[in-house]
Amino acid sequence: MSIGRGALIVIEGVDRSGKTTQCRKLVKSLNDRNIRTELMNFPDRSTLTGELISHYLKDKTCTLNDKAIHLLFSANRWENHDKMKELLENGCSLIVDRYSYSGVAFSSIKKNMDLRWCLQPEVGLIKPDLVLLMTLSDEVMLNRPGFGNERYENVEMQKSVKEVFQTFADNEDNWKVINAAGTIEAVHQKLLREIISKIEEIGDSPLEKLEF
Ligand code: FDM
């Protein structure tokens, strides 16, 4: 398929919804169809801010002001902004495992954190062409194999994050909800269909910036 610019596709969802597995499969399927695609994920732990973030997530005794860690997650995206723009402008699509919306969701549910404040550092980043929200009922989410050991990997936090994601899905024009309860292959096919149709639709339209 020949396209102008690449598409920015973001996959969001709670832990255990299968995001990471699906992102990898999507990149492979798109490349197999000659749609040049790369995988990215946030937080990108390979950068300087990513190392700090990874330390914060792994070491629950690490105390860091909630606004400071929020800005670090955002800075981690800004660090990758120019590279993303260049790849997209050169016709490479990106499948991104978490983006600004995870940033806003995980921070804004904390005590004394204001949603509007959390949105601001994200303004101006590249707006995804499509955000696919992988949803699971609480029941299915709780029956999937256990959480890891990092900060935020607990049921209460995941339930609250799920609500913020749903609010985005209800209000943002670029969101689509995908039920993640099926088999890996069935969910993959649903996601792939949405992405291919979006890539066909965007053609050479200019990249847009996030605004809230
Ligand atoms: N997370 C992720 C945030 O709190 N803010 C962000 O901006 C992003 C991108 O980091 F609990 C949280 C979500 C998750 C944790 O993410 C690590 P991965 O996908 O499990 O590595």
Of 98, 156, 159, 161, best ligand 1 pocket probe by most atoms within 8 Å of the beta carbon: 98
CATH number of the domain at 8-202, out of 3.40.50.720, 1.10.510.10, 3.40.50.300, 3.50.50.60?
Answer: 3.40.50.300
pLDDT confidence band for 36 (50 / 70 / 90):
very high
pLDDT of residue 139: 86
Strands (E), 88-169: 93-97, 130-135
Residue 18 phi/psi, 5-degree rounding, is 90, 15
Question: Do residues 23 and 131 touch, judged by C-beta distance below 8 A?
Answer: no
- Distance of CA 27 from the midpoint of ligand 1 (Å): 21
- Distance of CA 211 from the midpoint of ligand 1 (Å): 21
pLDDT of residue 143: 86
| HSE-up (13 A, CA, CB side) for residue 53 | 21
- The pLDDT tens digits for 112-169 are 999 999 999 999 999 999 999 999 998 888 888 888 899 999 999 999 999 999 999 9
Structural domain boundaries of the chain? Answer: 8-202
pLDDT of residue 141: 85
- The pLDDT tens digits for 3-28 are 589 999 999 998 899 999 999 999 99
Q: Considering the entire predicted model, what is its pTM?
A: 0.97
